[in-house]
């Protein structure tokens, strides 16, 4: 089980017609970092590091500094690998995002190896069961567009079984309210409507939008502000009863301690490819569980992360929704690997049954889709 090889593949594909417009801009390409770890006895594990808008740099960090730290370690020793990276990188050089992103993909690959070595699907290794996991229609989708078009984009998802959708807000407050009202009117009170501002709001915007969100029974308002903007979150707390959600840009359990202390963000969304991996997401979920805080993990780009997120949800006691990436033409979900999940008519997904994370990888895809430099959103 000794780790003998660590490879990181930065990969991209263009979105020629332009993707939906969100609070972080308009998607022009999609990026990902795929991590491959090989053991001495030939077990291959796959993981994903979120690209962090610096996919080639994240891949380089994995193949240089982090790789030199952990080559030769026992692949089953996920806590030991985590502790070593913490000692030499996170602890001693600060909680910068790059190391957390890079180590997340390695940790995910090690869990894939652990499952394959044991012959168990990941959810079982984590102590869970193959239970149905409710999913919402999210990902890079349902963005800023006229309300009628937004309703038509949402319709096939609702018809496919989704009982929850996530709309993008953080545009003008007036347009945001018009979009939320249109979707509520079109689909009625049984549809759960979630919202994500992608840090696009100011404090005053939240003061103005919150009465409408309360009246429309919005499930949560995600990331009105940047993750580090603690003071704005505290100010926004009293504006209404719609829960504030965040976590996809909080790195490691140490950054979630402040979230806990502030008692403002009551829906947690760690991303398994950002927060420090599955090992760290389990710790974050346990912290949240003690305070009865639900965990709805943010999904990254590839089917590897998405399948792993479902295993994770099937194994924690405070898990909520799976974020189903319903973006059109995501090759990292549809072509890079075998089918990571499928929505059921009950609005739920189920964890895969093959050992490990359970997706088969097409390595030819990685050769055919090398990294494209530059920003993914403009
Ligand atoms: Mg988000």
User: How many domains does the chain divide into?
Assistant: 2
The pLDDT of 167-180, averaged and rounded, is 97
In a domain, 268, yes or no: yes
Same domain, 152 and 273: yes
pTM, full prediction: 0.97
pLDDT tens per residue, range 57-69? 999 999 999 999 9
Q: Is residue 236 part of a domain?
A: yes
Domain match, 250 and 342 both: yes
Query: Do both 311 and 332 map to the same domain?
Result: yes
> Ligand 1 centroid to 77 CA: how many Å?
31
Residues 35 and 139 in one domain: no
Residue 287 CA, ligand 1 centroid: distance in Å: 21
Q: Is residue 376 assigned to a domain?
A: no
Are residue 177 and residue 107 in the same domain, yes or no? no
**Which CATH number belongs to the domain containing residue 57 in this structure?**
3.30.390.10
**How much is the CA Rg of the chain, to the nearest whole Å?**
20
Same domain, 66 and 148: no
CATH for 163: 3.20.20.120
Three-class SS state of 247: coil
- 104 alpha carbon – ligand 1 mean position (Å): 18
Q: Is residue 178 part of a domain?
A: yes
**Domain span holding position 96:** 3-120+363-368
Per-position b or e across 295-309, b if 16+ CB within 10 A of its CB:
bbbbbbbbbbbbbbb
pLDDT tens across 231-254, in order?
A: 999 999 999 999 999 999 999 999
Summarize pLDDT for 99-155 with one digit per residue, the tens. Answer: 999 999 999 999 999 999 999 999 999 999 999 999 999 987 899 999 999 999 999
133 & 86 share domain: no
What is the distance in A from the centroid of ligand 1 to the CA of 253? 18
Q: How far does residue 180's CA lie from ligand 1's centre (Å)?
A: 17
> Separation of 291 CA from ligand 1 center, angstroms?
22
**pLDDT, tens digit (0-9, with 9 covering 90-100), for 180-223:** 999 999 999 999 999 999 999 999 999 999 999 999 999 999 99
User: Dihedral of CA 232/235/239/242: which sign?
Assistant: positive
Strand 265-268 vs strand 25-26: parallel, antiparallel, or unpaired?
Answer: unpaired
Q: How far is CA 179 from CA 169, 185, 198, in A?
A: 9, 10, 16
- What spacing in Å lies between the alpha carbon of 342 and ligand 1's midpoint? 21
């Amino acid at each position: 089980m000794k780790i003998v090889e660590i490879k990181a593949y930065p990969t991209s594909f263009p979105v020629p017609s332009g993707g939906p417009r969100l609070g972080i801009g308009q998607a022009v390409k999609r990026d990902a970092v795929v991590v491959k770890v090989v053991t001495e006895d030939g077990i291959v594990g796959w993981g994903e590091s979120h690209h962090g808008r610096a996919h080639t740099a994240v891949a380089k960090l994995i193949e240089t500094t982090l790789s030199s730290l952990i080559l030769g370690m026992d692949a089953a020793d996920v806590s030991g690998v985590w502790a070593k990276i913490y000692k030499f990188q996170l602890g001693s050089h600060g909680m910068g995002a790059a190391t957390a992103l890079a180590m997340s993909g390695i940790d995910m690959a090690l869990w894939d190896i652990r499952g394959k070595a044991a012959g168990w699907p990941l959810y079982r290794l984590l102590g869970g069961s193959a239970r149905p996991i409710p999913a919402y229609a999210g990902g890079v989708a349902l963005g800023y567009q006229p309300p009628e078009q937004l309703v038509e984009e949402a319709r096939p998802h609702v018809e496919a079984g989704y009982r929850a959708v996530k709309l993008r807000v953080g545009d003008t407050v007036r347009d945001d309210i018009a979009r939320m009202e249109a979707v509520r009117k079109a689909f009625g009170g049984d549809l759960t409507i979630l919202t994500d501002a992608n840090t696009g709001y100011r404090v005053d915007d939240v003061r103005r939008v919150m009465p409408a969100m309360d009246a429309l029974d919005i499930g949560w308002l995600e990331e009105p502000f940047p993750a580090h903007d603690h003071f704005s979150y505290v100010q926004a707390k009293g504006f209404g009863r719609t829960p504030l959600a965040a976590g996809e840009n909080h790195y490691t359990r140490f950054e979630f301690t402040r979230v806990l202390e502030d008692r403002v963000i009551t829906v947690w969304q760690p991303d398994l490819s950002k927060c420090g991996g599955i090992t760290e997401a389990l710790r974050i979920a346990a912290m949240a569980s003690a305070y009865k805080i639900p965990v709805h993990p943010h999904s990254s780009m590839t089917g590897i992360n998405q399948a792993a997120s479902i295993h994770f949800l099937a194994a924690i006691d405070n898990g909520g929704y799976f974020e189903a990436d319903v973006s059109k033409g995501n090759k990292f979900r549809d072509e890079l690997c075998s089918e990571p999940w499928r929505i059921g008519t009950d609005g739920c997904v189920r964890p895969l049954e093959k050992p490990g994370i359970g997706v088969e990888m097409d390595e030819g895809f990685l050769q055919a889709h090398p990294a494209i430099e530059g920003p993914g959103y403009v």
